[in-house]
Chain A
Amino acid sequence: MSITWNDNAPIYRQLRDRVVAMILDGVLKQGDALPSVRQVAADFQLNPITVSKAYQELVDEQLVEKRRGLGMYVTDGARDALLQSERERFLREEWPMLYARLKRMNLDLQTLMQSAGSNGAQS
C-alpha cells in the first residue's frame, strides 16, 4: 500500500485524521481494536514514534483508550462525540461561507431540496 502524505501538516496529524475518518465512516466501531503501533509503522513505512504520537492525540481527545497490555481501543461514544464536534465545526466554519454563496446565487431552499431529490441524494 502506498500512501501519499501532504506536506502542509505533520504526518502524525494526518494519521490521526485518517483514524478519525474511519471512526466517522463506521469502519472502526466502538470497542474495536486499533492496529498496533508496530503494525502501522511497518504498513505505512513510518517511524514508530510518529504513530505513537498520532495515537496519543486520539487518547487525549478521548476517542481511543489504552487497555494495559492489550493495545488501543475505540471508546464508547467516540463516533457520537466526533459527529457532534464535526457538526459544530461545519456550522461554525463552513456553513457561513456556503450560506453566503447560496444567497449570492439566489438559490432557495426549495430548489436545493428538489435538486438533491432528483440527484438521488434525498434522505
Chain B
Amino acid sequence: MSVVQARNLSKRYGTTVALDNVNLDIQPGRIVGLVGPNGAGKTTALKAILGLAEFDGELSVLGMNPRSQRTELMQQVSFIADVAVLPRWLRVGDAVDFVGGVHPRFSREKCLAFLARTKIQPTQRVRELSKGMIVQLHLALIMAIDAKLLILDEPTLGLDILYRKEFYNSLLGDYFDEQKTILVTTHQIEEVEHILTDLLFIKEGRIVLNASMDEVGERFAEVLVNPDKADAARALKPLYERQIFGKSIFLFDGADHAHLAQLGELHKPSIADLFVATMKGTYA
C-alpha cells in the first residue's frame, strides 16, 4: 500500500493555482525529497497531506482520508514545520509531559534519552534556547513518536552546519528504518542528495520530476564538450547548457550515455545542477 497516493490533487488560493493536478505515489521505507523554488506549492502539498488544508482531487495517506480521518491519521504521522514554534514560556520538561499526554505512540524514555545527548535541560524555557536547540527539542519530541510517516518542511532552515549534520545523523542513526517513510522539503539539496531514495521536483504547482535516485542517475548526464563538438551536442536537444573555461557543459535527459561519451567527458549531474536546469525561467 502506498503511504501517500494523490490523484489530480489541486488547490487554488483565489486565482492563484498552488497545486495543479498533482499525481503522487510514495512507497513505505522511502526517503523522498520534495524540492522546488519558493512558492512552487511544497508547503501546500504537505498541508493537504496533513489534513491542514482543503483541496480538490483524491488523496489517501496511509489508506486514510486526511480530511475525514484526521485524528486517526495523526497517530501515524509526525510533522516538523518550517515555522515550527513552541511557546516561549514553555519549559522543556512540560513540553515532554504535554506530548506524552496527547500522543498515544510517544515514548517518554526515548525522548529523554535524545535530550540527554544535547545541552538542553528539562528545566529550561524555550526562550532560553538557541534556534538550533529548539530544532533539537522538536526533533527529540518527534523521534520519540513511533509514526509511519514523518513530514519535514525545511527542517534545517537557518541552522549552522553542525546542527544540520547532527539533524540528519540522528534521523538516520536513531529514527529511520524500512517501516518508516520520510517526506522532506529543503533548499539545501546538496545536503540531502545522498540520503534520498526518491526525488520530486515541483514547479508552479506541477510535479516536473518524479523519479527514484537510481533512475535519476540513469536518465540524466552532463557532458563537458569542446567548442568543435558543441553544435553536435546541441543537436541532441540538451535540457540545459552553460559555459565554463571555454567549454560547454550540456545536461541531457534520457540520451544514450555511450553516444554522449563520444562528445566529451561524462559526469553525473548533482541534484543542484538538475534543479537549476529544470527550474530555469521560474522567476523571470
Closest to B29 in A: A49
Task: Using A7-B268, A7-B270, A47-B213 as known contacts, say yes or no to A38 and B194 having CB atoms under 8 A apart.
Answer: no
A5 surroundings in chain B (CB, below 8 A): 194
Closest to B270 in A: A7
**B282 in the interface, Cβ–Cβ < 8 Å?**
no
Task: Using A42-B172, A42-B173 as known contacts, say yes or no to A47 and B194 having CB atoms under 8 A apart.
Answer: yes
Return A41 CB to nearest CB of chain B, in Å.
Answer: 5
The 8 Å CB contact of B172, one of A7, A8, A10, A48, is: A48
**A33 in the interface, Cβ–Cβ < 8 Å?**
no
CA distance A43 to B195 in the complex (A): 11
Please tell me if the beta carbons of B172 and A38 are within 8 angstroms of each other in the complex: yes
Closest to A36 in B: B173
Interface size class of A (residues with CB under 8 A): 10 to 19
Please tell me if the beta carbons of B194 and A10 are within 8 angstroms of each other in the complex: no
Interface size class of B (residues with CB under 8 A): 20 to 34
Closest to B193 in A: A45
Please tell me if the beta carbons of A45 and B195 are within 8 angstroms of each other in the complex: yes
Encode A5-41 as 1/0 by CB contact (under 8 A) with B.
Answer: 1011011000000000000000000000000001101
B217 surroundings in chain A (CB, below 8 A): 10
CA distance A27 to B66 in the complex (A): 52
Task: Using A45-B165, A45-B168, A47-B31 as known contacts, say yes or no to A11 and B194 having CB atoms under 8 A apart.
Answer: yes
Please tell me if the beta carbons of A47 and B173 are within 8 angstroms of each other in the complex: no
Please tell me if the beta carbons of A8 and B268 are within 8 angstroms of each other in the complex: yes
**B169 in the interface, Cβ–Cβ < 8 Å?**
yes
Please tell me if the beta carbons of B197 and A49 are within 8 angstroms of each other in the complex: yes
CA distance A11 to B194 in the complex (A): 8
**A75 in the interface, Cβ–Cβ < 8 Å?**
no
B169 surroundings in chain A (CB, below 8 A): 42-43, 45
CA distance A43 to B178 in the complex (A): 18
Please tell me if the beta carbons of A47 and B268 are within 8 angstroms of each other in the complex: no
Task: Using A10-B217, A39-B173, A42-B172 as known contacts, say yes or no to A47 and B267 having CB atoms under 8 A apart.
Answer: no
11 residue pairs of the A-B complex, CB under 8 angstroms, read: A7-B267, A7-B268, A39-B173, A42-B168, A42-B169, A42-B170, A45-B191, A45-B194, A46-B194, A47-B213, A48-B178
Which chain B residues (134-192) contact chain A, with CB distance < 8 Å?
165, 168-170, 172-174, 176-178, 191
CA distance A42 to B173 in the complex (A): 5
Encode A57-101 as 1/0 by CB contact (under 8 A) with B.
Answer: 000000000000000000000000000000000000000000000
Please tell me if the beta carbons of A47 and B196 are within 8 angstroms of each other in the complex: yes
Which chain B residues (211-227) contact chain A, with CB distance < 8 Å?
213, 217
Q: Which 7 A-B pairs have the closest CB atoms?
A: A42-B173, A7-B268, A42-B172, A41-B172, A42-B169, A46-B194, A7-B267
The 8 Å CB contact of A38, one of B173, B269, B270, is: B173
Closest to B194 in A: A46
